[in-house]
A and B are shown apart, each in its own frame.
Chain A
Amino acid sequence: MSHHASVLASAVVAVLGVAGSLRAEEPAMGRDLAATIALQGMPCDKVVSATRNGDSDYTATCKDGNRYHVFVDSTGRVVVQKL
C-alpha cells in the first residue's frame, strides 16, 4: 500500500514539474514574440496569449487587443502579419 502511495506521489510530482516547466516557458515565449513583433515595428507591449499553429508559427494576442501571426517563411525570414 505504501509502495503504491509513493509511486503515485512521484507521478504527481513529475506531472507538476512538467506543467511548471511549460508555464515557465510560456512567459519566455510571450516575451520572445513581443520582442519579435516590436522589432518589426508593430505595437505590442505584452503578449497575453499565444497559440502554436505549427513549427515556428504562432498567433499572438497582445495586451492592447492586437493579434499577430508570427511565422518563419520558406526563405528563413521572420514575418509578422497583423490579423
Chain B
Amino acid sequence: MRHIAIGGMSALLLLVGCVHEKPAAQRPAATPAAPQNAGSAQKAQTAPAPVPAAPTQPPPAPSEAGASRASAAGSAAATGSAGATGSAGATGSGSAKTKVPGRGESAAASAPRAAPPSTASPGTTAGGTATRPAPAPAPALDLTSLEQRLRDTRAIGVFTKLSLKNQVDDLLGEFRTFHRRQGALTVAGLRQKYDLLLLKVLSLLQDGDPPLAAAISSSREAIWAMLIDPLKFEKLARI
C-alpha cells in the first residue's frame, strides 16, 4: 500500500513537473518578450534572430537621431553651416537662401539681400545711365578735325570737294536766312536738305574712307543741333 502511495506521489510530481515544463517551453516560442528570462537554450537560439533585427534597425535610427539631434540641438548653427555648404557646393542655393532668412539669421540674410540690389542697381545705373551720358558729350563735335579730315581725304576728288563745299556754303546761307527769319524756310525743309547733303558726303566717303564716313555719320545730330540753334550757329558763323 505504501509502495503504491509513494509511486503515485512520484508519478504525480512528475506529471506536475511535466505540466510546468511544457507551458514554460511554449511561452518563449510564442512571445519574444521573454528573452530577458533567458532560461533555456531554445530561448537563446531564438533570441539572436530578433537581436540582429534590432541592431539593423538602430543604425538608421542613430543617423536620424543624429540629424534630429543636430537640428534640434544646434538648429541655427547646424542649418547655417548646412546652408552655407549647400549654397556653395550644390544647386540648392535657393532653398538654402529661403531657409536662411526664415531661421533668424536676419543680419546675414539681409546682407546678401542688400548686396545684390546694391550691386545690381549701381551696375545698371552706372553702366546704363551714368556712362551713356558721358559719351553724349564725348562726341565733342570737333568740327575743325572733321573739316581737316575732309580736306585731306583721298576718297573724294578735288572737283567733288569743291562742289561739296559749294553746297555746304549754300546750305549755311539758308540756315542764316532761317535764323534771320527771312524767307519761307522751315525746320523740316532745312532738315531734309541737310540730310540730303550729308547723304551725298557719306556716299562719297563710305568706300574710300569708311572711318571718316563713320565719324561724320556719328556727328550728324550734333552738327544739326549746332546748325539749328541760333546762338551756336552764330558762333559757328564767326569761326
B-chain residues with CB within 8 Å of residue A58 when the two chains form the complex: 159
Q: Are B204 and A72 in contact (CB under 8 A)?
A: no
Which of A28, A29, A31, A78 makes the CB contact (< 8 A) with B163? A78
Report A59 CB to chain B, min CB distance, Å.
Answer: 13
A-chain residues with CB within 8 Å of residue B186 when the two chains form the complex: none
- Chain A interface residue number, banded: 10 to 19
Q: Are B157 and A56 in contact (CB under 8 A)?
A: no
A-chain residues with CB within 8 Å of residue B200 when the two chains form the complex: 39
**Chain B interface mostly:** helix
Is B162 in contact with chain A by the CB < 8 A criterion?
yes
Tally A-B pairs: CB < 8 A.
39
Closest to A35 in B: B160
Report A38 CB to chain B, min CB distance, Å.
Answer: 9
A58 vs B160: C-alpha distance when bound (angstroms): 13
A31 vs B159: C-alpha distance when bound (angstroms): 10
A72 vs B163: C-alpha distance when bound (angstroms): 9
Residue total for B at the interface (Cβ-Cβ under 8 A): 12
Closest to A36 in B: B159
Is A62 in contact with chain B by the CB < 8 A criterion?
no
Report A34 CB to chain B, min CB distance, Å.
Answer: 9
Q: Are B162 and A70 in contact (CB under 8 A)?
A: no
Interface mask (B93-117 → A, CB under 8 Å = 1, otherwise 0):
0000000000000000000000000
Is B153 in contact with chain A by the CB < 8 A criterion?
no
Q: Are B157 and A76 in contact (CB under 8 A)?
A: no
Q: Are B166 and A35 in contact (CB under 8 A)?
A: no
Is B167 in contact with chain A by the CB < 8 A criterion?
yes
Interface mask (B124-158 → A, CB under 8 Å = 1, otherwise 0):
00000000000000000000000000000000111
Is B190 in contact with chain A by the CB < 8 A criterion?
no
Q: Which residues of A contact B (CB under 8 A)?
A: 28-29, 31-33, 35-36, 39-40, 56, 58, 70, 72, 76-78
